[in-house]
Structure 1
Amino acid sequence: MTNDPRRSDSSVFPNPVYKETVLRPLFDGAKTHHVDGFQRIDRAHLVMLAETGILPRDVAGRIARALEAIAAEVDPAGLIYTGEVEDFFFLIEKELKARLGPDDAGRLHTARSRNDIDHTLFKLSLKARLDTVLAQALALLEAMIATAEREAATLIVAYTHGQPAQPTTLGHYLSAAIEILIRDVERLQAARAVVDLSSMGAAAITTSGFPIDRARVARLLGFSGPQRNSYSCIAAVDYITASYSALELTFLHLGRLIQDFQFWTAFEVGQIYVPNAFVQISSIMPQKRNPVPIEHMRHLSSQTVGRARMMLDIVHNTPFTDMNDSEGESQEAGYQAFHSARRVLELLAAFIGAIKVDPARVTENIRRSCITITELADTLVRREGLSFRQAHEIAASVARAVVAAGTDLPSGGYAPFRAAFEAATGAAPVLSPEAFAEIVSPEYFVAVRARFGGPAPEPMAEALAAYKAAATGFAEAASAAAARERAAAEELAACFNSLVEAG
């Protein structure tokens, strides 16, 4: 038992423990993340009240002048929560009362609630973060396309199940990751479209009996429009789940790419060379070159996935209504996902632009692993008329013999090939030693894979053109959205300043 008076006093709000554990953190979060949003919402709502005649213009003008004074005189960063008011919203109302008296000050809140204010506030903040991540994802996409184009013919070893599988090119490999990133950007854009709907005008749940203009407020705040159903405005919170689902998938996917880079830079593989600018040395082992930025990208991607998934878990099994679960503290926790996301995107774009393939290591790994043998089987089907299964068995026999002899396919593969072919078919092969050497070369392997989506020059050129077109489309969409929001900000400033002059 305790006699701590803070825990026993239940007559005065706020209880000191509640103040310190809940109200102060919420207040500090609001003053850190949402001051600009509060200001914009107050001003847009006030302009609408004046334009619709809900408030007389002279009253709206006095409120506008008071809001301008508060913005100039109150430094949010220096505010310390005292418990005199419940939250940041009531602090602004208190400041209005000090300048205008309770009658005029109380009129700003006509036809609105903290419910619609909060969700609009969170959307403004989330939309800005999505725009930043989208811009950085586009920068990464452009860096990946540039590197894929530069390395379109650069041979690498492709792995399946952790083992050398077939030769391809770095450009072809990166193209696979580019396609995923394009789809991830599309998911982020789709999430942004959900966020880009204003909740203002929903009030507590059911809108208002006042003749408000919800579309006008949405436009002044830079939204594409108002969210239609007022209950959905304060209850759905799918703008949260859409955003964090898209973010989670993006970094789950990037984490796999980053893990490949970790594997490829291992000493035993070594097909990727990381420049010294991205390498840290050991404090004790002089020979070590540690490409630790890869590890940082990997764990920051995992942190982003975890933080984004946390937001989905918070919403899981919550009631379909306005609730604190989706509000201030959860929103602030979710912002950490965007913070780590931006770090990964920026670093990965720089890293991908800097890495190089080590051709000597790639050549040696191809030589030792016989990974061009699939094309020998394919060619036997096309040129010798064998079934694929028979051709596959001959090719497998050749690979076993080459590996056992410690040689490679171009220089030491023809003799075991001829023997295996004659043993299987009872006839001599059509292929000459020169033709055999060409067929089992990695350059030939890539060149003949000219089908749609393959690594040969023709499909790669077509794919890169498509990726560039997608990137251009993303850039144009972002530019259009930014232009619309700049225009909205200018219109809001002009309308609000007009009210200030009227006051």
Structure 2
Amino acid sequence: MMMTDPKLSDTSRFPDPVYKETVLRPLFDGAKTHHVDGFRRIDRAHLVMLAETGILPRDVAGRIARALVAIDAELDPATLTYTGEVEDFFFLIERELKARLGPDDAGRLHTARSRNDIDHTLFKLALKARLDTALAQARSLLDALITTAEREKATLIVAYTHGQPAQPTTLGHYLSAAIEILIRDIERLQAARAVVNLSSMGAAAITTSGFAVDRARVAQLLGFAAPQRNSYSCIAAVDYITATYSALELTFLHLGRLIQDLQFWTAFEVGQIYVPNALVQISSIMPQKRNPVPVEHMRHLSSQTVGRARVMLDIMHNTPFTDMNDSEGESQEAGYQAFDSAGRVLRLLAAFVAQMQVDGARVAHNIRRSCITITELADTLVRREGLSFRQAHEIAADVARAVVAAGSDLPTGGYAPFCAAFTAATGQASALSEADFQHMVSPEYFVSVRDRFGGPAPAALAEALADYRARSDGFAAEAAAHAQAEAQAADALARSFQSLVEAA
């Protein structure tokens, strides 16, 4: 039987119709939705560099520049339908250049570059913009948390452990814990931005090129801090992706825990937080129900963000250390959804935190019935009566049991059980008067004596809040510097490109 070479008998033509519909069309639609501005900026910056280095004659670069302007004016990507006549958006632009300039001049724009370095630079531009938006939204949430913590620095709440009332503290002190975590999350997002902020342009396919390209100039024109040094890393490393989505995942894992507390605190049986009417939906059948459903939306959107960010890390797992489609088009678009849900949570949570209020009467009731100031009774007995902590703790436990059994509370019903427990344990009467006892088991006293570094007492909390505000101001200053650098780069690119447009 004669063997035939399939290459000789293959009459098929690219693209296969199924491949066109399942891969090429979605990629094209994604590019025209998310990356048109990035393509435009990369084309112009690369062209400017080719002209400035003399790789392209200035008159040729001028013709290409004018053709790019014409394409922008005449072609609306949003109206395009993918036909399969060109492989992707990159080749669409090249086809349009050929139609205006002919194949020789049109093909010169691609000198010393590849779709490999273009793609990763394109994705970094898109990620950097999304990171800047997310960071701005995170800073707004941070400001709302700090402002509310300052306003509520002396407002008593019940702190819970294991779902049970534990000790009194203030809302300002509680929110300060969330503030510290958010500060660290913002720092992780900023660190990810620094990884993203390195240009891949000039790496070409893998190894740069024999042309004397100026990689630093292209990076500058595109608003990057610098070119990424190793050219193989430019097209193979995906740590700009993993750093970004790791930071995003952690941010919303952490915020989800805060949101879960808010859900618990708004429950009828707890009632610690009052949610304003503007953030409450009424049941369609039970008119008495005030449903704080924004909290539920924040919770599930946080979980969606965590899941979407985790997807990006999973996609990168066990992929080859080279340029690959796994890290490109459709994967990038999947990640953008994480930023979409992230922004919704950050905006809504900032609004919620700014408006929520503590139900002081409900907090006072819960403090009284839960005996959560009893720890300070034990501490006071150590300091004022000279008892060991274990003996003092046992006396306090006896008091708590007696008060709870009687359905009473510490201030009004705790002194008699205390005197009995103290005498039974020590064989003598306590020196504490009833007024002393009532003072030391009050939540105000409990908070006031916890004036150590990081505690809820006024001086310690004020010091912490001042530090948080300074950190927030520092983040804002850094963001302003980034914005100024981006604006300067955009201006430099516009001026340099316009000079080519006007070239003879």
TM-score (norm 1): 0.98
Counterpart residue type for residue 305 of structure 1:
V
Match of 1:163 in 2: 164
SS at match of 1:401: helix
Structure 1 residues 391, 169: CA separation in 2 closer, same or farther (over 3 Å shift)?
A: same
Q: Distance in 1 between matches of 2:263 and 2:274?
A: 11
Q: Please tell me whether residue 471 in structure 1 is matched to residue 496 in structure 2.
A: no
Gaps of 5+ in 1: 1-8
Counterpart residue type for residue 165 of structure 1:
A
Give the 5 Å matches for 1:325-474: 325-474=326-475
Q: Please tell me whether residue 114 in structure 1 is matched to residue 104 in structure 2.
A: no
Q: Distance in 2 between matches of 1:96 and 1:79?
A: 17
* Pairwise CA distance, 1:430: 1.1
Give the 5 Å matches for 1:272-283: 272-283=273-284
Match of 2:481 in 1: 480
Match of 2:224 in 1: 223
Q: Please tell me whether residue 314 in structure 1 is matched to residue 335 in structure 2.
A: no
SS at match of 1:502: coil
Q: Distance in 1 between matches of 2:301 and 2:177?
A: 22
Q: Distance in 1 between matches of 2:423 and 2:77?
A: 86
Q: Distance in 2 between matches of 1:343 and 1:381?
A: 50
Q: Distance in 1 between matches of 2:242 and 2:322?
A: 15
Q: Distance in 1 between matches of 2:136 and 2:265?
A: 28
Match of 2:133 in 1: 132
Counterpart residue type for residue 252 of structure 2:
F
Counterpart residue type for residue 473 of structure 2:
T
SS at match of 1:475: helix
After the TM superposition, which segments of 4 or more aligned residues of structure 1 sit over 2 Å from their partners? none
Q: Distance in 2 between matches of 1:318 and 1:470?
A: 38
Give the 5 Å matches for 1:43-122: 43-122=44-123
* Pairwise CA distance, 1:246: 0.2
Counterpart residue type for residue 197 of structure 2:
D
Q: Please tell me whether residue 323 in structure 1 is matched to residue 327 in structure 2.
A: no
Q: Distance in 2 between matches of 1:38 and 1:52?
A: 21
Q: Distance in 2 between matches of 1:182 and 1:289?
A: 33
Counterpart residue type for residue 94 of structure 2:
E
Q: Distance in 2 between matches of 1:471 and 1:276?
A: 30
Q: How many residues align?
A: 495
SS at match of 1:294: helix
Match of 1:494 in 2: 495
Deviations 1:213-245 (A, max 9, x none): 000000000000000100000001100000000
Q: Distance in 1 between matches of 2:66 and 2:313?
A: 41
Q: Distance in 2 between matches of 1:29 and 1:372?
A: 59
Counterpart residue type for residue 121 of structure 1:
L
Match of 1:37 in 2: 38
Q: Distance in 2 between matches of 1:120 and 1:431?
A: 72
* Pairwise CA distance, 1:148: 0.1
* Pairwise CA distance, 1:269: 0.1
Counterpart residue type for residue 460 of structure 1:
L
Counterpart residue type for residue 58 of structure 1:
D
SS at match of 1:168: strand
Q: Distance in 2 between matches of 1:346 and 1:72?
A: 36
* Pairwise CA distance, 1:10: 6.6
Gaps of 5+ in 2: 1-9
Q: Distance in 2 between matches of 1:409 and 1:65?
A: 83
Q: Distance in 2 between matches of 1:348 and 1:161?
A: 24
* Structural RMSD (CA): 0.6
Match of 1:183 in 2: 184
Match of 2:4 in 1: none
Counterpart residue type for residue 199 of structure 1:
S
Counterpart residue type for residue 474 of structure 2:
G
